[in-house]
A and B are shown apart, each in its own frame.
Chain A
């Protein structure tokens, strides 16, 4: 238990054992592998993932019920995919009884609120079988991402094969091998404003959370949090879908995760305090937290 990283049962350095998945995965291919295994093993009937949209790198939530569909959704899209918008549809049109869902920390919070306060989500609470959270510092509205790529990186977004954030830089890679990078500082103004009230970096309420921070290139840090997450992850490792190793001695390791989590959460706590504008505004800007 840590103030910034939440409760977790175990933490691993892990990656997919499946070459097909790793090929176009962002880092360790953990989300795709976990869902692929869970589909095969019957832990889930389908998963809500950020699939390809009508415009390049504009994610569109989709319900994947086959491994082919999961593979189509590989890789991070640094824009907003309203995955929760399909949570009821998944139980209706798709008739799923055991749903997997991947989301940013705020989306996983929405999942848990939906389970405890299913105000408009009839018969949804007991059908969420595996919620995988991804580490998230901030997200970008599509128009912001577009501007970062087309304007700042001077790269046509249609030609981009991969985007990545790491080591203080936003990088785009293109088909012909060229790549462009800009300091993260430049991207801050394009961040989604609502990200600045978020008090969660590593999806503290997910069954499993994962992200690239803390482990070497090609690997992911995996935090196993709930009973459901522990059981599913263990089975995926035993079945050979995922390679998991101890985090002991891994550089930069959990310290970096904790450091980034602290930075995000402390900054955002300060911003929430700032939003009150005590003594100056007629009424404070609203805070969602009670």
Chain B
């Protein structure tokens, strides 16, 4: 699997891949390791055990300095908190040790009111924006514009930022800011690049987008192609608009003759508003909170053979790069 090896070499740094090959066949070696390998080429049938120890030690010495390289290549990520419940951020944190791996190897968290001591929105590669924007609050209006100016990629994180979600039902009159009654998804105010719908978005989906953003910004052409293919449907969702509802299953899937009754929507629904009746989703529309998860999860909303056909190698890759 050539693509997989290349991805590994980028994500682990070169030494990890070399180490694998070194274990497998001690013959062909890159020039800079030739000196280390010399003992292996000597006829040493008498004392194989000692040689093995020596080899391990030497390998250790040459690897050390190279470990720093992937760290220097990290992307910068910020979490911008608009009118949301912090559930999306909790979901990011629910990657548990995976979050530490991401922060160790792939991304620096440069802005996050909850987790990082930075007061003003800095320049960053990826802004994860949680929550919709209260248009009655000047500070929020300024900050969402600043976010667009200072971030290369703006990701709408979660149902509120993408589609309004529960904030669609706000109508003001609540303490301690009863005048705050107008809330809009961030896509109504600024251009958004990627959507991660659902309430809350899942830790695994956030992780995948972070890793793919890393490949998109730091990868070679092939890796950029994979990341682009992966992110394209989420970019298409962002381009498609700021309204979502369980009704989308009717208007965009069933009405279009595309629903084959798999039930993904019912499984994805956070509030159990969807049941499957005679092989089609039945949406209890009063329960729907307009998070957009059902439609985005539907295999007939978008489906990429290129990406999903590689599920085995991509899943393995994610598993390996998320090792601490």
Contact = CB atoms under 8 A, between A and B. Distances in A.
Interface of A: 6, 61, 79-89, 103-104, 106-107, 109-110, 112-126, 139, 141-143, 192-199, 204-205, 226-227, 285-286, 288-290
A145 to B, nearest CB: 10
Interface string B294-324: 1011011111110111011011000100000
Contacts, number: 170
A225 B302 CA distance: 24
A17 B230 CA distance: 42
Contacts of A110: 262-264, 299
A146 to B, nearest CB: 11
Interface of B: 91, 196-198, 200-205, 208, 230, 232-234, 236, 252, 256-264, 266-270, 276, 278-279, 291, 293-294, 296-297, 299-305, 307-309, 311-312, 314-315, 319
A142 B319 CA distance: 41
Nearest to B254: A194
B267 A120 contact: yes
Contacts of A113: 264, 297, 299, 303, 308
Contacts of A82: 261-263, 266, 276, 279
Given A116-B314, A226-B312, A193 B279 contact: no
Contacts of B261: 80, 82, 139, 192, 194
Contacts of B263: 61, 82-87, 110
A47 to B, nearest CB: 15
Contact of A119 (B232, B296, B300, B305): B296
A285 B257 contact: yes
Given A119-B202, A290-B303, A112 B293 contact: no
Contact of B270 (A107, A120, A226, A289): A120
Given A121-B268, A143-B278, A205-B308, A286 B297 contact: no
Contacts of A103: 262
Residue of B201, B260, B314 ringed by the most chain A CB atoms within 10 A: B260
Contacts of A79: 279
B289 to A, nearest CB: 12
25 contacts: A80-B278, A83-B262, A86-B263, A89-B267, A103-B262, A106-B299, A110-B264, A113-B297, A116-B314, A117-B296, A119-B201, A119-B293, A119-B297, A120-B202, A120-B270, A121-B267, A122-B91, A122-B200, A123-B202, A139-B261, A192-B261, A197-B300, A199-B305, A226-B312, A288-B258
A197 B236 CA distance: 21
Contact of A120 (B230, B268, B303): B268
Contacts of A89: 267
A89 to B, nearest CB: 7
Residue of B200, B267, B294, B307 ringed by the most chain A CB atoms within 10 A: B267
B264 A288 contact: no
Given A80-B279, A110-B262, A198-B260, A87 B267 contact: yes
Contacts of B269: 120
Contacts of A104: 260
A141 B266 contact: no
Contacts of B267: 84-89, 114, 120-121, 124
A289 B311 contact: no
Contacts of A121: 202, 264, 267-268, 297
Given A141-B278, A285-B257, A290 B232 contact: yes
A288 B201 contact: no
A120 B279 contact: no
Contact of B315 (A125, A194, A195, A289): A125
A288 B261 CA distance: 15
A61 B257 CA distance: 23
A289 B302 CA distance: 6
Given A61-B263, A115-B311, A118-B205, A142 B297 contact: no
B150 to A, nearest CB: 27
Contacts of B304: 289-290
Contact of A80 (B201, B257, B260, B308): B260
Residue of A87, A193, A290 ringed by the most chain B CB atoms within 10 A: A290
A122 to B, nearest CB: 4
Given A117-B297, A142-B279, A290 B236 contact: yes
Contacts of B311: 112, 115-116, 205
A122 B294 CA distance: 13
A285 B268 CA distance: 25
B262 A84 contact: yes
Given A85-B266, A205-B309, A195 B256 contact: no
A141 B279 contact: yes
A52 B258 CA distance: 26
A204 B309 contact: yes
Contacts of B257: 193-194, 196-197, 285
A122 B293 contact: no
B198 A194 contact: no
A119 B291 CA distance: 11
B256 A285 contact: yes
B262 A107 contact: yes
Residue of A86, A118, A197 ringed by the most chain B CB atoms within 10 A: A118
Contacts of A227: 312
A86 B276 CA distance: 10
Residue of A82, A86, A286, A290 ringed by the most chain B CB atoms within 10 A: A82
A147 to B, nearest CB: 13
B319 to A, nearest CB: 8
